[in-house]
Copies of this chain bind each other. A is one copy, B any other.
């Protein structure tokens, strides 16, 4: 039984474990002041161009989102997010628990634009309503789609014009940065958002996100917020060593590219057979629409989620590949699927 359920089924990329073992008994300062955290941040900064950013390592995406958003906003300010956004759906109300409303906007493909946001700004015009202040996006989105550099730039310009902060959840950011058709870089991310994070856990780390803040007004006292929310590890080296390794020799990008590549193998093969897709995702999540009977067969040897019922006979499923998925496994999966449908 092989699982395509998610990209966190395995542990860490072996180079990360090697580094953890290598430096294990060297004494280091705690709370993110260890040499590896310092080095990891330096390595990331080389990708950010001239942007003067603050970087903080935080163990977990939900934790990063809630630390960032609750520190960026005053009590009456609200987030705007696509209704599919992770903070709106799958973080158990973590943002509201810090006191802030999420205004959820409709969207077809997990992405939002200035045009989608504008009516909300017009509506929220006085003190009986929350004040929209931060736009939350994910790149890739929760359904695998990506913002291009132009889209991001436009959205950021819209936010700037409307006194909104733009914050990007990058749980799978690597996958958006390694698409040939989408020449988006970390430097773009730093240039066209106020803050974003680079997720580690889905790109080879055991745990850890790098929160990157480019907007100067958001930088002060961040360590207080991180500590207050329980997000400051005593052994910060655990996060430091991982990001140091991921950003040495572009390992992070290599792992993300691998996940994307294997997903393309699947989507191309399925498309060739005539399969349709629930969403057209270029990243490591694939959403083919399959016959329920075929799904049942496939599930005898593969684990994955049924994403959405399409009609009585078919459903969209979600298949996720990662740095840890082998090409061999994917090719076998494709063959197995072909065998099932040709029965």
Contacts and interface: CB of A to CB of B under 8 A. Distances in A.
Given A25-B324, A71-B75, A227 B3 contact: no
A235 B221 contact: no
A223 interface: yes
A238 interface: yes
A184 interface: no
A183 interface: no
Contact of A75 (B62, B90, B101, B225): B225
A309 to B, nearest CB: 12
A17 B20 contact: yes
Main DSSP-derived SS at the A contact region? loop
A137 B228 CA distance: 19
A65 B130 CA distance: 16
Interface residues of A, number: 75
Interface string A5-22: 010111110100100110
Contacts of A324: 25
A230 B231 contact: yes
Nearest to A28: B9
A238 B6 contact: no
A224 interface: yes
A63 B230 contact: yes
Nearest to A66: B230
A147 to B, nearest CB: 23
A77 B24 CA distance: 36
A1 to B, nearest CB: 8
Given A231-B230, A233-B59, A234-B8, A92 B129 contact: yes
A74 interface: yes
Contacts of A93: 76, 78, 99-101, 130, 228
A102 B27 CA distance: 35
A11 B23 contact: yes
A232 interface: yes
Contacts of A17: 17, 20-21, 24
A167 to B, nearest CB: 16
A307 interface: no
A54 B90 CA distance: 24
B90 A101 contact: no
Nearest to A234: B8
Interface string A93-119: 110111111101000000000000000
Contacts of A97: 75-76, 99-100, 228-229
A306 to B, nearest CB: 14
A165 interface: no
21 contacts: A8-B234, A8-B235, A9-B29, A10-B25, A11-B24, A20-B20, A60-B230, A60-B232, A60-B233, A63-B230, A63-B231, A75-B98, A76-B92, A76-B225, A78-B93, A93-B99, A93-B100, A94-B228, A104-B104, A128-B227, A131-B224
In the A-B complex, the 6 residue pairs with the closest CB atoms: A63-B230, A11-B24, A76-B224, A127-B223, A92-B228, A62-B230
